[in-house]
């Protein structure tokens, strides 16, 4: 059964208190969309985020190829290290991915984001039984149900999260491990630089 997410617009604007629903694509279409979106992101990333995204892709592949549960590594001072890392919760990574989605080249962004928009429905009325009736958004009725550009942005952002959350969910644990290892290596290098006497002789 495909998921359906309800979005309620808040704030002081013309779409305030309106409700919309986002319908998840089929598994095949979701995988196709996510693959294209991640590919576009990797090609458009600023340098300071390239490590996170490229290693997220590697972590995703690693996670789906794992054989059974694997024991956690026993990292030294893990709590202290984690405090200094970026937030690797699923929610934070999803927000980071969604924000960068809007930075991909416009032709790709327009095609991919429009595909997301047509997965949305707008609340139309309550029927005689008190049930909510929604109508699928189309180019012909978009201006009827959406008055604010910010609403379109919100619907696209939330639809993007809905169709890429499997990638985030699977990659987050191994992505965190990568950056913990990187931090440990950097701490070791910093220690050697600060204490040259303990460096190995040439």
Residue ranges of the domains in the chain?
4-198
CA distance 116 to 192: 50
For 39, the token pair is 């590919």
- Side-chain-side CA neighbours of 139 within 13 Å: the count stands at 2
Q: Kindly report, residue by residue over 63-80, the tens digit of the pLDDT.
A: 666 645 554 555 444 444
Q: What is the pLDDT of residue 171?
A: 67
Express each pLDDT in 160-181 by its tens digit: 999 988 877 776 666 666 556 5
Q: 104 near 42, Cβ under 8 Å?
A: no
CB 20 within 8 A of CB 27: no
Residue 79: its pLDDT value, please? Answer: 47
Which helix (H) or strand (E) segment holds residue 153: the answer is helix 149-194
Query: What pTM was estimated for this model as a whole?
Result: 0.73
106-132 pLDDT tens trace: 999 999 999 999 999 999 999 999 999
Quote the mean pLDDT of the chain: 79
Residues in the chain: 202
């Amino acid at each position: 059964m495909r998921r359906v997410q309800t979005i309620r617009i808040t704030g002081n604007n013309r779409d305030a208190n309106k409700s919309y629903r986002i319908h998840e694509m089929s598994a095949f279409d979701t995988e196709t969309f996510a693959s294209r979106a991640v590919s576009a992101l990797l090609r458009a990333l600023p340098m300071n985020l390239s490590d996170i995204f490229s290693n997220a892709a590697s972590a995703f592949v690693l996670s789906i190829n794992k054989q059974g549960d694997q024991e956690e590594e026993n990292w030294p001072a893990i709590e202290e290290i984690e405090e200094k890392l970026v937030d690797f919760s699923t929610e934070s990574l999803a927000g980071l991915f969604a924000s960068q989605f809007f930075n991909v080249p416009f032709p790709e962004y327009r095609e991919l984001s429009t595909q997301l928009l047509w997965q949305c429905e707008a609340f139309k009325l309550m029927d005689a039984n008190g049930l909510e009736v929604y109508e699928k958004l189309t180019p012909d009725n978009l201006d009827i149900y959406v008055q604010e550009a910010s609403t379109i942005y919100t619907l696209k952002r939330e639809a993007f999260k809905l169709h890429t959350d499997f990638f985030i969910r699977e990659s987050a644990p191994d992505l965190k491990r990568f950056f913990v290892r990187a931090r440990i290596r950097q701490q070791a290098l910093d220690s050697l630089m600060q204490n040259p006497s303990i460096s190995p002789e040439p």
